[in-house]
Every structure is written in structure tokens, then in C-alpha cells.
Homo-oligomer: A and B are copies of this chain.
Amino acid sequence: MGILTDSYKASHYLQYPACREMVAYGEFRCGFDKDTEDTRMVVYGIRYLLETYLLRQWTSDDVEKAANFYSTHKAPGCTAFPFPKDLFLSFVEQHNGYFPVKLQALPEGTCVHAHVPVYQITASNEYAPLCTFLEVILTMIWYPTTVATLSRRGRNIIEAAFERSADAGAASPLLPSRLHDFGFRGCCTVEQSVIGGAAHLLNFEGTDTLSAAYYVQFELNGGEPVGTSIPATEHSVMTAWHTEKAAIENMIDQFGDGLFACVMDSYDYMRALSEVLPSVAEKKVGKGGFMVLRPDSGDPVEAVLAALKAAENVFGVDVNAKGYKVPRGAGVIQGDGINLTSLSQILAAVLDAGYSAEAVAFGMGGGLLQKVNRDTMSFATKLSHVVYADGTEADIMKSPTGDTSKISFPGALAVKRVDGVPTIFPAEGGHVPDEENLLQTLYDCGPLQRDWPLFKDLKQRIAREWAALPKTANVISRPLAEKIQNFKQHRQH
């Protein structure tokens, strides 16, 4: 733990004024990609951080190793780099090696708007200066929360297209497989694929990221499956055969009575649709299964429409009750160049061309698991309250001129639902009874007894909470607004 932080954190214990308590909290400062018209998010990931890092017990040997490291970590001309070795040795003894802070956090999967604190850290007595030591690790909640929110927003787009063009609307059993996780190889590490892939599985079932599907099924869902996929070719399969036709015929032999997918652009995508596909049609139809055509290059909108037209020409279409065409026993999955923008564009074009959204699935790879960052929803942790050594208290508020987006809230905080909307209150003043405070204590200088919900129950709760939440809301309660107002006036003096 001593090295699981930024260098400068190790020097902060010498930099704070003498204190007996410090409180800090973490918030996302904006909606996804700075969206101001929908600032909802799915907060997810605290359990992994808690279990992986906070529940680890430090030993005095660990502390010695860290101290040894810090003694070698410095810049030229700089005196020895500090490290609060005595404080670490002290909690090894006093708290059985558990890091000496209290951690409160929103329950996994809680849907909130931007600015609502997702966690709050309190450090007391001699450990007060360690309050923000774990900030770096805890900040990593930005990642699963951002992916879960992105994936949920993708679901919204697909649901809207289903409502318009699929008989069962958004209740269609096809919907959970419509946004498929192609992101494993685009991750930086396997650990990331597990965390990001799990965040996607909160909203969908479709995934090829087996690391996440396995982890969630066996670690978070009691062994019950959460991810689905189908046999599918890649270019190496299509090009290993002497012809694409032979590659597809083998797929039909192997999987033709079920679902299977073939990538179609190894040589000439349009020719594959116009010549190869008709040449295997009889064999495919004879087996009765469902064939998914996968474009993988070119303009995504044109590529999808070309595949739908080819499927219509070769296999025919049915027109559903909403008047949209559904190709018979065939569909398309677009897995190249997918992000929320292209997802919307493709679905709009598909519906405009008279096809049902049922006929198209999407694979999202780097766009889902990697092309997000801490700025996507602007996550930050800020100090909010100090009790000095002399017993005086101060609320703290960062408020840089010229960048109001970086303002933080003063004082310890609580979160309570007001008309269903998680709303921020001052912790003191009796506004929020403990049992209504969504910032639940998960850890207090050591583990607390806790039952985690099954992943499948989490999924249902998220679906309900997300739908029930208005796209935007004022999340600052009147008592907190008054406090901020007072604070600003005070500072002006």
C-alpha cells in the first residue's frame, strides 16, 4: 500500500497543518463526455478496490520495504524523500495492519447525477494526515463507472431503436445481445479487461471478453452465467481456406443449425456479399440456423446497409408488425468503428432504410473498454473538512477562479434520496439519518461485515434506478447550497 500512490502523497503528512481529523470525498464533476443534458451515471467498482487493496493487511516487513524504497526515491539536489514510516508501523500494530481510515461509498450500481459524492474518506487522530493517501487507488473507480455509464447510454440508444422498429420493443429478448463487448485485446491489461468487461455486463449479456464473463459468473454471481457469445470467424479463418466460400461452408457444416458469424471483408467485401453469399445460400438455408454477417472495414453505415440489402436479396425478409423489414435467418454485426455517435448514426440509417433494429448487432471494442479516461466524466477527490489540533474546525472548498468546473463542496457530506434523486447534504445538522445515507460505511480501519448483492440483482436494480432517474436534476440540497453561499461570503472577507 505504501507504494500504491503518487510520490507526493508520501510527503503530505509533513505538509498539512496539525490536525486531529480530515475528511475528503470523490465526485465525477460532469456527465459522460461533458454532456449537460443527461448527467446520469452508473457508479460501480468500489468492491473490487476495497477487496483488492483495503482488505490487504500490512506487515512491518512491508513497511520496511517501502521505507527502503522511499529512501532511494528522490530528485538530484533534493533531500531524502519523506515517508510516514512511524504512522505506518503504528497502524500495523494498532489496526492489525489495516489502513487507518473510514471509507463510505455509494452502494454498487447506484445511479446518480454528476457531482454526487461516490465515496468519502475520514481519517482521525494521529492518522488524520493519511486521509488522502489512498486517493490514487480509490480514484480508479472512474474506470468501471465510466464504462458502465457508456454501456448504459449505448443501451438507451438501442432501446429507442427497438421501440420504434421491433415488435417487442425494448422488451425484446434480443436486446441484451445487441451491444457486444469486443474490447479484450484493446485493453492495456487483463485486470482492466475484467473490470471494464464486468461494467459492460451490468447492461448487456453479449461479450467476447471471457476474462470478465468468467470472473463475474464465478466471483460475483454464484456461478450463474452472465455472458453470451456465438461461434464466429476472424480473418485468419477466412483466409486459411483457399476460398471464402469454403470457409463459410465449413461454418455451416459446423454451426449451421445454430447462430454463427462470418467476417466478410478479407478480400472484397462487396463481392463477398454479391457473389459468395448467394453461393452458400442453399446450404445455409438447408441447415436452418442464423447467419450473422460481419463487415470490418469501410464506412460503418454503408457497410451495414450493404449487408442488410444482401441478406434481403439472398434470404428474403419478413415485415414485422411495426412495418420494418427483418431478414430471414440472417443479420449483421458491425464491430469496427463503433462509439455512441456511430451507433446512433447506423441505427438511424438502418431504420430509414426500412429495416428493423432487430437485424443489427454491434461490437464495441476499444470504444467500450479503452477510449475513456478520467476526464470523460472528470473525476476528482477533494479535501472537504479539517479538525485542527486545537479542536477548531474548518470546512474546505477548492474554488479556482476561472475554472468553475473544478469547484468542490465544503464540509463532510451525506447523500439522501429526495423524490428518488440522490441529493447532497451536509453530513452534520441532522439532515440525513444514518439509515437514509447512501454513503454507507464499507470499511473502518479494518473490514466490516457485509453482504454483496448477486450481480444479476445488481443488474435489475440498475435498470430500474436508471430509468427512474430524470436525465438531469439539482443534486445540491438547500442546506448545502446555503453552506456554499456562506462559505463564499466568508472567503470574500
| Residues of A bordering B, CB below 8 Å | 3-12, 14-17, 19, 22, 24, 53, 69, 72-79, 81-82, 131-132, 135-137, 139-140, 142-143, 173, 177, 182, 184-192, 195-196, 206-211, 213-214, 217-218, 225, 227-237, 239-242, 246-247, 250-251, 254-255, 257-259, 261, 265-270, 290, 296-298, 365-366, 370-371, 373-375, 382-383, 386, 394, 396-403, 406, 491
Contacts and interface: CB of A to CB of B under 8 A. Distances in A.
Nearest to A212: B3
Given A374-B186, A400-B269, A210 B5 contact: yes
Contacts of A74: 228-230
Say how many copies of this protein the assembly contains.
2
27 contacts: A4-B210, A5-B210, A6-B210, A10-B210, A14-B231, A15-B251, A16-B240, A17-B241, A22-B240, A69-B210, A69-B217, A73-B210, A73-B227, A79-B255, A132-B234, A186-B374, A188-B196, A189-B192, A236-B383, A236-B396, A242-B394, A266-B398, A297-B400, A297-B403, A298-B403, A366-B374, A370-B374
Contact of A259 (B78, B265, B269): B78
A261 B254 CA distance: 65
A214 B394 CA distance: 37
B210 A3 contact: yes
Contact of A228 (B73, B235, B246, B398): B73
B239 A397 contact: yes
Contacts of A82: 231
A389 to B, nearest CB: 12
A70 to B, nearest CB: 9
A5 B230 CA distance: 14
A156 B394 CA distance: 46
Given A19-B240, A383-B236, A76 B173 contact: yes
A382 B210 contact: no
B400 A229 contact: no
Contacts of A268: 400-401
A74 B227 CA distance: 8
A177 B75 contact: yes
A24 B234 CA distance: 13
A250 B17 contact: yes
A261 B11 CA distance: 11
Given A235-B383, A268-B400, A382-B235, A290 B77 contact: yes
Nearest to A70: B210
A251 B228 CA distance: 56
B401 A258 contact: no
Contacts of A225: 72-73
Nearest to A19: B240
A234 B136 CA distance: 12
Contact of A11 (B136, B186, B188, B232): B232
Contacts of A79: 255, 257-258
A58 B208 CA distance: 22
Nearest to A399: B267
B132 A184 contact: no
Contacts of A8: 208, 229-234, 261
